[in-house]
Amino acid sequence: MSLPFISKNDLVAGIDIGSHAVKVCQLKRSGNGYSIVALGSAVLPEGAVDDGSLNDPEIVGEVISNLFRNLKLSNKKIGFSISGYSVIVKKVNLESMPDAKLEEHIMEEAEQYIPFDIEDVYLDFQDLKTGTEGGERTDVMLVAAKKEIVDDYLEMLEGLNLKPVIVDVDGFALENTYEYNYQKTQNVGLIDIGASKMNINILSNGTSVVARDIIVGSRQLTEQIQNAFDLDFEEAEGLKLGSLPAGDKQQEIAEIFTTTCTQWVLEIKKAIDLYHSNHEDQPLTKLVLSGGGAKVNGLADFLARETELPVELFNPFINLRSKKKKIDADYLDSVAPEMAIATGIALRSSNI
């Protein structure tokens, strides 16, 4: 009864199914690193995916098939990631014991740690081997994911003739991309702002010490613009992204951005305060923003001012090669923040 994490030597296509868009990344080995073979995204209809659940598998399946076709992707082996209310990630401190015994212990005691019925979840764990208290205790990362949600994804993907071999978690995939591209030793806050959720993951010396999902995201901005001017969703999205001229709505739109971004920044500051209260001697060195919401104009500067920390946009491609002829450099730059999770999944298979 564990998540279908299956070891594979060959590379998978990483699929990040968000509430706004599906993102796909395929890598191949190149020298002693990797290069990008295919990269792309496709927007999903409103409501097709919500809080990590697949509400409309047929439509999502169609969007993924078309994306694979457009990218000329023939790889059947894929990895995808889950997030939202259906997945719980928890670090627990336990007595050190061999893996087999640990598994037994976790199966027996899991209900203490997770708020779901144990029969209803796939459970996985990793001994972080922190060896605290003279090696007597250790931190263990527990992941519990609702079977019905994971099974919906598996069924949809298998229905497309794809072979899911990795089930990842958004926050872990992001961490994986970060470790591949950036210095691992820093204390850093990874913040993914998608359409409907913000994932905050604070890493201290390469280990996740604060992780939380907050139900805020860039769709909030679209909905507020929609309500303020009584528009349909597409028009409001166009105004938000600047692809439609704001005209006399400019001032009110700017106010919506300020109010909402202030709320996001407050949430981020709360997580940072929590981190600093437990790690006084290891101050954060920077914040790295990913997800489409990270591209909100002025957000990075505002966050830097409010937290007094350097803030940068996540670039998952720093250590990846790409053929200029095949993938346009401007395209890579523009999609970098929202491709971080798909890239992390695509990198995953190489590590296991």
Ligand X SMILES: Nc1ncnc2c1ncn2[C@@H]1O[C@H](COP(=O)(O)OP(=O)(O)OP(=O)(O)O)[C@@H](O)[C@H]1O
Strand extents, DSSP E, 31-110: 33-43, 49-50, 53-54, 77-82, 87-95
Task: Give kind and range of the element (H or E) at residue 252.
Answer: helix 250-278
Give one DSSP letter per residue of 148-185, joined into a string. HHHHHHHHHHHHTT-EEEEEEEHHHHHHHHHHHHS-TT
Rounded to a whole number of angstroms, the minimum distance from the CB of residue 343 to ligand X is 12
Closest alpha carbon to 83 in 188, 214, 246: 214
Instruction: Please give the order of strands across the beta sheet that includes 188-193.
Output: 207-214, 198-204, 188-193, 286-290, 311-313
- Binding segment (CB under 5 A) for Mg ion, from list 14-22, 88-96, 127-135, 201-209: 14-22
Number of residues binding to ligand X, judged by CB under 6 A: 20
Instruction: Supply angle C-alpha 190, 196, 5, rounded to 5.
Output: 65
213 binds, among ligand X, Mg ion, none (CB under 5 to 8 A by kind): none
Which residue among 14, 171, 292, 316 contacts ligand X (CB under 6 A)? 292
The reply to whether 19 sits near ligand X by the rule CB under 6 A is yes
Name the DSSP class of 70. Answer: H
Alpha-carbon distance of 64 to 66, in angstroms, equals 5
Contact letters (x/-) for Mg ion, 181-220, by CB under 5 A? -------------x--------------------------
217 binds, among ligand X, Mg ion, none (CB under 5 to 8 A by kind): ligand X
Cβ–Cβ < 8 Å for 282, 187: yes
Rounded to a whole number of angstroms, the minimum distance from the CB of residue 199 to ligand X is 8
The nearer residue to Mg ion, 194 or 316, going by C-beta atoms, is 194
Name the DSSP class of 2. Answer: B
The reply to whether 18 sits near Mg ion by the rule CB under 5 A is yes
- Binding segment (CB under 6 A) for ligand X, from list 119-127, 153-161, 188-196, 300-308: 188-196
Contact letters (x/-) for ligand X, 194-233, by CB under 6 A? xxxx-------------------xxx--------------
The nearer residue to Mg ion, 14 or 18, going by C-beta atoms, is 18
338 binds, among ligand X, Mg ion, none (CB under 5 to 8 A by kind): ligand X
Residue 211 pairs in a beta bridge with 201
Label each residue of 197-250 as H, E or C: CEEEEEEECCEEEEEEEECCCHHHHHHHHHHHHCCCHHHHHHHHHCCCCCHHHH
The reply to whether 67 sits near ligand X by the rule CB under 6 A is no
Which residue among 239, 296, 303, 347 contacts ligand X (CB under 6 A)? 296
Cβ–Cβ < 8 Å for 170, 192: yes
Residue found under tokens 């144990």: 118
Cβ–Cβ < 8 Å for 13, 25: yes
Which residue among 3, 11, 13, 21 contacts ligand X (CB under 6 A)? 21
Number of residues binding to Mg ion, judged by CB under 5 A: 2
Q: Taking CB under 6 A as the criterion, which residues in 300-339 touch ligand X?
A: 338
User: What are the φ/ψ torsions at residue 243 (nearest 5 degrees)?
Assistant: -80, -15
- Binding segment (CB under 5 A) for Mg ion, from list 13-21, 144-152, 219-227, 295-303: 13-21
Rounded to a whole number of angstroms, the minimum distance from the CB of residue 174 to ligand X is 11
Which residue among 122, 168, 180, 295 contacts ligand X (CB under 6 A)? 295
The reply to whether 241 sits near ligand X by the rule CB under 6 A is yes
Give the interface with ligand X as residue ranges (CB under 6 A): 18-21, 194-197, 217-219, 237, 240-241, 291-293, 295-296, 338
Give the interface with Mg ion as residue ranges (CB under 5 A): 18, 194
